[in-house]
Amino acid sequence: MKRFRKSVIMPLALFIYTTVMAIYFIPRNHELSDTEKWVTVSASYLIIVLLWWVLRKKEQMMAKREEEAKRNDKK
């Protein structure tokens, strides 16, 4: 079975959650202006992209460390 990476699963789940909540709540919320609504959703998407980037970099660093450890073990 193929193992899914954390850098894919977590941001994807948050993206789906944010999108569903935006679709559900934006038309029903009359307390905020349209600009505030879209800025909030956009900021949420930006945070999700940053999370994806950080998790991807962390996974790359871990893979690099594992590769270096394997190389050192062979020596």
Asked if the structure places residue 1 within a domain, the reply is no
* Packing angle of the helix pair 34-74, 6-25 (nearest 10 deg): 170
* DSSP secondary structure letters along 8-65: HHHHHHHHHHHHHHHHHHTTT--SS-HHHHHHHHHHHHHHHHHHHHHHHHHHHHHHHH
Give the pLDDT score at 14.
96
Per-residue pLDDT in tens (0 to 9) along the chain, 75 residues: 567 788 899 999 999 999 999 999 888 888 889 899 999 999 999 999 999 999 999 999 999 999 999 888 876
Asked if the structure places residue 44 within a domain, the reply is yes
Domain count, the chain: 1
Give the pLDDT score at 74.
78
The token pair at 7 is 């850098």
- Domain hosting 48: range is 6-74
Give the pLDDT score at 39.
94
With beta carbons less than 8 A apart as the criterion, state whether 47 and 11 touch: no
pTM over 0.85: no
